[in-house]
Amino acid sequence: MSHTGRNIVIGGEAGQGLVTIGQMLTKALIRSGYEVVVSQDYMSRVRGGHNTYSIRVHDAPIAAPAEAMDVLVALNQETVSLHKHELSESGIVILDAGLDPEGTRAVPVPFKDVASRPIFENVAALGVLGSLLGVDRPTMEGLVRETFGKKGDEVVGQNMKVLDDAWKWAEAHRASCAALPAPRGPKGRMMLHGNEAIALGALAAGVKFCSFYPMTPATSVAQELITKGRKLGVVVEQAEDEIAAINMALGATYTGAKALVPTSGGGFALMTEGVSLAGVMEAPVVIVLAQRPGPATGLPTRTEQADLNLALYAGHGEFPRAILAPATIEDCFHLTHAAFDLTERFQTPVFVLTDQYLSDSYRAVVPFDLDALPPVAEPDFSPGGGPKFKRYKRYELTESGVSPRKVPGFTETLVLADCHEHTEQGNITEDADLRNAMNDKRLRKGEGLRALCIPPRVSGDANPDLLLVCWGSSEGPVAEAAVLLRAKGRSVGVMSFTQVWPLDPAQFLPALQAAKEVVCVEGNATGQFARLLRQETGFEVSRTLLRYDGRIFTPKWLAERLG
């Protein structure tokens, strides 16, 4: 396989079934032992428009989507017209024999002959793709059986026949497309995207309550918990709005139930007063903020990293918070798990800041080892402590700033959670000295958070001439761009931040200062993280490389601009 692997793109209108074909092919590839990076590009509509589902497949680990298309499955003419110039040198187009290949190297499939009815055309396309790429046939058959099993033997049989006919038809055309090399990855891996991994991480941490208002690209976090988490004892409530969602979550954590609120920028903007409430009430809550381009409705189904400042500064007043920014699907799981521990431990809001690209990007992931996970902090469910039927010191002034958090109903003492400045018992106060003491106490928790902050991941050349700084989902494309640059003889390192707040300069400032050139790569227009670095360390990056057209970073796009 070439060093970039093979890029398979399925294009068509919403409602034509391109996601179904894409997901089934992805699963077949993962089951066979290939590595994949899926990127989904769709428009904000239910039917029509132009969408693509891209699978970059490789026999070795990969971390980013590719640009050039090696196999384009065109479900309509528009797909051919839009993408014919994006085909790689050996790229082919698989399309219905009735469509115009527009001068491309095409494999016209007589879908009408292969599939007796249009409803079977997706499986026919899958058969052709599987055959041309040399996917293990029993794997594909097993998948078709699983997918249609619920609909009964007759439907399974019909689909199996279509798969068989399509496979046979394509065998005659195999010369047009080189088969994939043998897979090398392990079997038994999950096909998982970022939001699914976040839901699993939350379940592993013991999430019990999720309140949400649907918003792309965050909805699938809640949907996973509804579809699969309910069996594990999670209550998921679709709230009337995002304001209700976050305030419900604070009610949930008051009872000791771990709570999650998934949203995107516009919905999160509505939650900001609730974030402030969590700050003063010292209520745990994990907020998953899946970014998409703004302002306002922006490009609702595309990707961006422009809500860092929003997460950093949301909520009036001053209180500590932590912001974790996963770069990989594994990060989505582990950092969500870690977010629950941090929010329980420090009783202050913790964010998982992700984006549309990572939310929707399927990869092959080894099932997580639950026994290897560190324990997650809990409130004090014990019955003892505190005066009977009187308020205990919910906001006791302590050295660490963390006060004992008891749970109403589990004890005879009373728990008063409050939104004002308050006494140690939670009662309203306007006393100036107490105000200072309480504010200082809350801010001391920020020091505890800083002491635990996750250092950036550093890879590539040691002491590089060029150090690429990135955060969140850009890591994969940036790391692969570094490989391309090193192939041209350059000395390149990568520093990837998976926690963007708080920062501990001792963990990374020496490396920044040692590099000849530092370029900060971000999916926004103003270099928000570069500014944050300067604010916190005084260090100014040599330059920023920014993308804010709603499209995903690719190694090629980056390498071209990094020369």
Partner 1 sequence: MDIEVYGEYKKTAWCPGCGNHDVMKAVRQALAGLDLAPNRVAHVSGIGQAAKAPHYIDLNGFNGLHGRGLPPAQAIKLCNPELTVIAQSGDGCNYGEGGNHFLAAIRRNVDMTLLVHDNQIYGLTKGQASPTTPEGQITKSQPDGVRNAPFNPIAVAVAMKCSFVARSFSGNTPHLVKMIQLAIQHKGFALVDLFSPCVSFNKVNTFGWYKQRCQELPEDYDPTDWAAAMQVAQEFGERIPIGVIYRNDRPSLDASLPVLQKGPLGRQPVDRDGLRALMQSYT
Residues 264-293 binding partner 1 (CB under 8 A) are 273-274, 277, 281
Site stretch for partner 1 (CB under 8 A), options 126-134, 155-163, 408-416, 529-537: 408-416
Contact assessment for residue 229 and residue 206, using Cβ atoms and an 8 Å cutoff: no
Closest CA to 248 of 263, 264, 262, 237: 237
Q: Which amino acid is at 12?
A: G
Residue 358 as a binder of partner 1 (CB under 8 A): the answer is no
Residue 336 as a binder of partner 1 (CB under 8 A): the answer is no
Can you spell out the DSSP letters for 251-297?
A: HHHHTT-EEEEEE-HHHHHHHHHHHHHHHHHT--EEEEEEE---STT
By beta-carbon proximity to partner 1, the closer residue of 359 and 411 is 411
Site stretch for partner 1 (CB under 8 A), options 42-50, 148-156, 173-181, 244-252: 244-252
Residue 435 as a binder of partner 1 (CB under 8 A): the answer is no
State how far the Cα of 321 lies from the Cα of 379, in Å rounded to an integer. Answer: 18
Residue 196 as a binder of partner 1 (CB under 8 A): the answer is yes
Residue 414 as a binder of partner 1 (CB under 8 A): the answer is yes
Minimum separation from the CB atom of position 304 to partner 1 (A): 27
State how far the Cα of 413 lies from the Cα of 411, in Å rounded to an integer. Answer: 5
Residue 330 as a binder of partner 1 (CB under 8 A): the answer is no
Helix (H), strand (E) at residue 207:
strand 207-212
Using CB under 8 A, pick the residue from 239, 434, 437, 483 that binds partner 1: 239
Residue 417 as a binder of partner 1 (CB under 8 A): the answer is yes
Using CB under 8 A, pick the residue from 78, 164, 380, 412 that binds partner 1: 412
Residue 306 as a binder of partner 1 (CB under 8 A): the answer is no
Minimum separation from the CB atom of position 368 to partner 1 (A): 7
By beta-carbon proximity to partner 1, the closer residue of 415 and 562 is 415
Binding mask 12-51 for partner 1 (x = CB under 8 A): -------------------x--------------------
Burial class of residue 483, CB neighbours in 10 A (0-12, 13-18, 19+): middle
Residue 198 as a binder of partner 1 (CB under 8 A): the answer is no
∠ Cα 166 149 158 (to 5°): 35
Residue 419 as a binder of partner 1 (CB under 8 A): the answer is yes
3-state secondary structure 19-78: HHHHHHHHHHHHHHCCEEEEEEECCCCCCEEEEEEEEEEECCCCCCCCCCEEEEEECCHH
Using CB under 8 A, pick the residue from 182, 428, 443, 514 that binds partner 1: 428
State how far the Cα of 324 lies from the Cα of 197, in Å rounded to an integer. Answer: 14
CA 94 → CA 26, 72, 124, distances in Å? Answer: 17, 6, 11
Stated length of the chain: 563
Site stretch for partner 1 (CB under 8 A), options 89-97, 106-114, 235-243, 474-482: 235-243
Residue 325 as a binder of partner 1 (CB under 8 A): the answer is no
Q: At what angle do helices 194-205 and 329-346 cross, to 10 degrees?
A: 40
The token pair at 338 is 């870690």
Q: Which residues make up the interface to partner 1 (CB under 8 A)? A: 31, 188-192, 196, 200, 203-206, 208-209, 211, 228, 230-235, 237, 239-241, 243-245, 247-252, 254-259, 273-274, 277, 281, 367-368, 370, 379, 381, 389-391, 407-420, 426-428
